[in-house]
Amino acid sequence: PLLGFGTGFLTEEAKISTLTALKSGYRLFDTAVAYETEEAIAEAIAISEVPRDEIVIVDKIHPKDFYTSGATIQSVQQSLEKLKVNYIDVMLLHATDCEEEGGRLSCNGMEKTSSRTWEDAWRELEITVDQGKVRSIGVSNFEVSDLQRLWEIAHHKPSVVQNLFDPFIQDLEVRLFCKEHGIVYMGYSTLGRSWADIGLTYNPVLNNSVLANIAARYDASVAQVVLRWAMWENVVVVPRSSNFKHIALNFAAQYTPLNARDVDVIRELQGQIDEDEIAAAIEKTYSKTEGNAEIIDNPSIVVEREVNVEQDVVLYFGSDDYWIYALDGSNGSLLWKHQTADETGSVCMTNGSAVYCGADDTYLRAFHANNGSLIWKFRVGGAITSSVRMSESGNLYFGCLDNHIYCVNSSGVLIWETSIGSAVWATPALASGGRLVFIGGLVDEPDTGMVYALDGETGEIIWSSPIGGIFASAAVDERRNIVVFCTVQSTCHGIRMDNGEQLWELEVQSEVYASPSIHRETGMVYVVCLQGTFYALDIKTGNIYWKKSVFIPEIRSSPLVLDDGRIFLATGGGMVLHMNSKNGDVIWSKNIDDSEIFSSPKLATNGLLYVGTIRGEMVALNATTGNVVWSYKTDGPVVATVRINAPHVDYIATRQQFNE
Q: Is the pLDDT of residue 403 over 70?
A: yes
SS3 446: helix
Q: Is the pLDDT of residue 279 over 70?
A: no
In whole angstroms, what is the distance from residue 592 CA to residue 619 CA?
8
pLDDT tens digits along 35-64 = 999 999 999 999 999 999 999 999 999 999
Higher pLDDT, 301 or 161: 161
Least confident of 7-16, 469-478, 649-658: 649-658
For the segment 136-153, the average pLDDT, to the nearest whole number, is 96
Which candidate, 355, 416, 419, places its Cα nearest to that of 382? 419
For the segment 175-195, the average pLDDT, to the nearest whole number, is 94
**b/e code 218-232 from CB counts within 10 Å (16+ = b):** bbbbbbbbbbbbbbb
| pLDDT at res. 209 | 87
SS3 445: coil
| pLDDT at res. 292 | 30
For the segment 104-112, the average pLDDT, to the nearest whole number, is 73
Higher pLDDT, 594 or 356: 356
**Which DSSP helix (H) or strand (E) runs through 261?**
helix 260-267
Kind of pairing, strands 88-93 and 586-591?
unpaired
| pLDDT at res. 40 | 95
Per CATH, domain 5-286 is 3.40.50.720: no
SS3 228: helix
Rounded to the nearest 5 percent, the helix, strand and coil shares of the chain are: 25, 30, 45
Q: Is the pLDDT of residue 268 over 60?
A: yes
Q: Is the pLDDT of residue 275 over 90?
A: no
The CA–CA distances, whole Å, from 555 to 177, 464, 609, 638 equal: 68, 28, 18, 15
DSSP lists the bridge partners of residue 58 as 30, 90
Domains 5-286 and 412-549 alike in fold: no
In whole angstroms, what is the distance from residue 90 CA to residue 59 CA?
6
pLDDT band at 573 (very low <50, low <70, confident <90, very high): confident
Share of the chain above pLDDT 70, in %: 92
| pLDDT at res. 84 | 96
pLDDT tens digits along 430-448 = 999 889 999 999 886 766 7
Helical residues (DSSP H) of 118-253, grouped into ranges: 118-130, 144-153, 172-181, 194-197, 209-217, 222-232, 244-251
Q: What are the backbone angles phi and psi of residue 306, rounded to the nearest 5°?
A: -70, 145
Residues 26, 35, 67, 255: which is the catalytic one?
A: 35
In whole angstroms, what is the distance from residue 107 CA to residue 199 CA?
22
Task: Return mean pLDDT, the chain.
Answer: 89
Please state the separation of Cα 136 from the chain's center in Å.
37
For the segment 474-482, the average pLDDT, to the nearest whole number, is 94
pLDDT band at 287 (very low <50, low <70, confident <90, very high): very low
| pLDDT at res. 446 | 61
| pLDDT at res. 504 | 96
For the segment 632-646, the average pLDDT, to the nearest whole number, is 91
Any idea which architecture 412-549 has in CATH?
Beta Barrel (2.40)
Residues 6 or more apart in contact with residue 522 via CB below 8 angstroms: none
The question of whether 35 is a catalytic residue gets the answer: yes
**b/e code 172-184 from CB counts within 10 Å (16+ = b):** eebbebbeeeebb
| pLDDT at res. 510 | 92
pLDDT tens digits along 69-86 = 999 999 999 999 999 999
| pLDDT at res. 276 | 60
The CA–CA distances, whole Å, from 444 to 485, 489, 504, 508, 565 equal: 16, 8, 22, 17, 35
Higher pLDDT, 622 or 304: 622
**pTM summary value:** 0.67
Q: Is the pLDDT of residue 465 over 60?
A: yes
For the segment 483-501, the average pLDDT, to the nearest whole number, is 95
| pLDDT at res. 551 | 67
pLDDT band at 293 (very low <50, low <70, confident <90, very high): very low
| pLDDT at res. 26 | 95
Q: Yes or no: say if 419 and 403 are a contact pair by the CB < 8 Å rule.
A: yes
**Which DSSP helix (H) or strand (E) runs through 185?**
strand 184-188
For the segment 643-656, the average pLDDT, to the nearest whole number, is 62
pLDDT tens digits along 117-131 = 999 999 999 999 999
Residue ranges of domains in the chain? 5-286, 412-549
Share of the chain above pLDDT 90, in %: 69
| pLDDT at res. 278 | 53
Long-range contacts of 590-593 (CB under 8 A, 24+ apart): 590/621, 590/626, 590/627, 590/628, 592/617, 592/619, 592/621, 592/628, 592/631, 593/617
What's the burial of 9, exposed, middle or buried (CB within 10 Å: 0-12/13-18/19+)? middle
Which candidate, 388, 247, 315, places its Cα nearest to that of 602? 315
Q: Is the pLDDT of residue 655 over 60?
A: no
Residues 6 or more apart in contact with residue 243 via CB below 8 angstroms: none
pLDDT tens digits along 419-428 = 999 999 999 9
DSSP string, 28-49: EEE--GGGT-HHHHHHHHHHHT
3-state secondary structure 144-182: HHHHHHHHHHCCCCCCEEEEECECCECCHHHHHHHHHHC
For the segment 190-209, the average pLDDT, to the nearest whole number, is 80
| pLDDT at res. 109 | 67
In the chain, what is the greatest distance between 2 CA atoms, to the nearest angstrom? 103
Q: Is the pLDDT of residue 295 over 80?
A: no
Q: Is the pLDDT of residue 540 over 60?
A: yes
